[in-house]
Amino acid sequence: MKAFVVTHYGPDGLAAAEVATPTAGPGDVLVDIRAASINPLDKMIRNGEFKHLIKYKPPFALGHDLSGVITAVGSDVRGFAVGDEIYARPRDGRIGAFAGTIAIDAGDVARKPTSLSFEEAAAVPLVALAAWQALVDVAGVQPGQKVLVHAGAGGLGSTVIQVAKHLGAYVATTARTSDIDKVRSLGADEVIDFTTTDFADVLSGYDVVLDSLGLASLQKSLTVLRPGGLAISVVGPPDPAFAAQLGMPFLKPVMAVMSRKVRGAAKKLGVRYSFLFMKASGAQLATLAGLYDNGTLRPVLDRTFPFDETVDAMAYVEQGKAKGKVVITR
């Protein structure tokens, strides 16, 4: 079958190739992929940023988000059947959504929200899981707390705003002028136009900040937190807890050094820092599907590309102009 694979690590490392069609193991479902979406994580994996932590061996198919139809079910799988429409974020080590077919551990799969098209459903697994795990599992956001979401018009930010409002938080976000109305429509209570205003000059007393922009934004975000508040970053630097998540406790000292500067800055301010690398979870996707179907959450798409233009779709995302998720359709 045709797939888009990482032939070597680097910016030019993604290319079309013919690969063997996978088969379903005892705990897997085999899925005919109808749509996939692109995430910043795809760029990071392609460029080799996690090559020492997640052991992919080129060539391997890229892609972390998908929707499709089950075509085969492993002998140990219960609760799924051939013909089921599903969506998933396959676990690390078993990605490959930029292809025609994929074998996925059944624990990573949930039935597709019935209200969403395949294209819409493919846009949400990774960002929805990241938002849920950041706000519920890590931060434990409670009604009335104040949450700052950076880049609220993007694929992740637009989802975090909606999940935070579902949890009863007061939500501020940063966005460019042209996106202010969009993020307000998603539920943002306060919008800071980053083209004219520095968020650190106007915000204070926040319980949680979710940063997806980088170290400079993260360090500044520490200053708007209340004492004991929590800054969560999805772009690093990794902290010692990430080593435990990977099952590599021997890396804790390394990650302690990598995150020493930001953790030290947080400690001086009396706040906390946590790195988030989301985990696959079919159970959480099932919960989130209900929130999409009842209208609490909605996907935010920028545009779609045909499967044959996957490399072009990656390049488009890397330009940083997408206002929502970019989806590849088959």
Write the pLDDT tens digit of every residue in 79-121: 999 999 999 999 999 999 999 999 999 999 999 999 999 999 9
pLDDT above 90 for 251: no
Q: What is the mean pLDDT of residues 224-243?
A: 93
126-275 CATH, one of 2.60.120.380, 3.30.70.1450, 3.90.1280.10, 3.40.50.720: 3.40.50.720
- What's the rounded Cα separation, in Å, for the pair 274 and 57? 29
The pTM for the full model equals 0.95
Tell me the per-residue pLDDT of 141-180, one tens digit each, with 9 for 90 and over: 999 999 999 999 999 999 999 999 999 999 999 999 999 9
What's the distance, CA 137 to chain centroid? 15
Position 323 scores a pLDDT of 84
Place 245 in a pLDDT band, splitting at 50, 70 and 90.
confident
Phi, psi (rounded to 5 degrees) for 130: -60, -45
- Token pair 């637009």 in the structure block, residue: 158
Cβ proximity of 323 and 302 under 8 Å: yes
Tokens 């932590």 identify what position?
53
Residue 58: predicted pLDDT: 94
Residue 312: which residues within 8 A CB-CB, separation 6 or more?
Answer: 305
Q: pLDDT band at 288, cuts 50/70/90?
A: very high
* Residue that has been written with the tokens 């979870």 in this structure: 281
pLDDT confidence tier of residue 23, bands split at 50, 70 and 90: very high
**Per-domain boundaries in the chain:** 2-123+299-329, 126-275
3.90.1010.10, 3.40.1360.10, 3.30.70.20, 3.90.180.10: CATH of 2-123+299-329: 3.90.180.10
Q: Report the distance separating Cα 86 and Cα 104, nearest Å.
A: 11
> Burial letters for 33-52: b for 16+ Cβ neighbours within 10 Å, e otherwise?
bbbbbbbbbbbebbeeebee
